[in-house]
Amino acid sequence: MDKQKKIFLIGGLIEGAILIFDLVISILVWTRLPDPNTITTPTYAEACVLANGPFIGYLQSEPTVFFCVICIPLFAMIAVDFIYFAILASKKESKLSDAQLEAIKAKAKAQAEEELRRELEEEALKELEAEQKPDEKKESPKE
């Protein structure tokens, strides 16, 4: 496996691990919120920490930290993926061989030349007809 494929594989694995981590933490944070009616501690933050441990409890009581730790990395990864796929799509090379590409170019060139020749012939015929019509009109009044 070449170096670029290894980098993409490792990057994909890291991205997948981050996505799974963020998904699990998000589910835990939002499904294990303590019921406000059963809180016996003086603050909601203390109730979250007591019910769910220090990390999940802290993220539950501090939505700004949750956004910065969980949401911003996800948004950044999605943006980087879209940019990468856009660059990859714009640089995608043709699957045709050089001989096939040359054959296509030659055929297109021959078709363009044939079309140009037909147009020139049509214009020449129109000019001849235009030249003959005035001559006919001049001759017909004399007769």
pLDDT digits (tens, 9 = 90+) for 1-24: 788 889 889 988 999 999 999 999
Measured distance CA(75)–CA(55) in Å, rounded? 22
For residues 75 and 24, membership in a common domain is answered with yes
User: How many domains does the chain fold into?
Assistant: 2
For residues 84 and 101, membership in a common domain is answered with no
pLDDT value of position 124: 85
For residues 31 and 70, membership in a common domain is answered with yes
For residues 26 and 65, membership in a common domain is answered with yes
For residue 71, the enclosing domain spans: 3-90
pLDDT value of position 137: 57
What's CA 39's distance to the chain center, in Å? 48
For residues 67 and 113, membership in a common domain is answered with no
| Six token digits for residue 72 | 């911003």
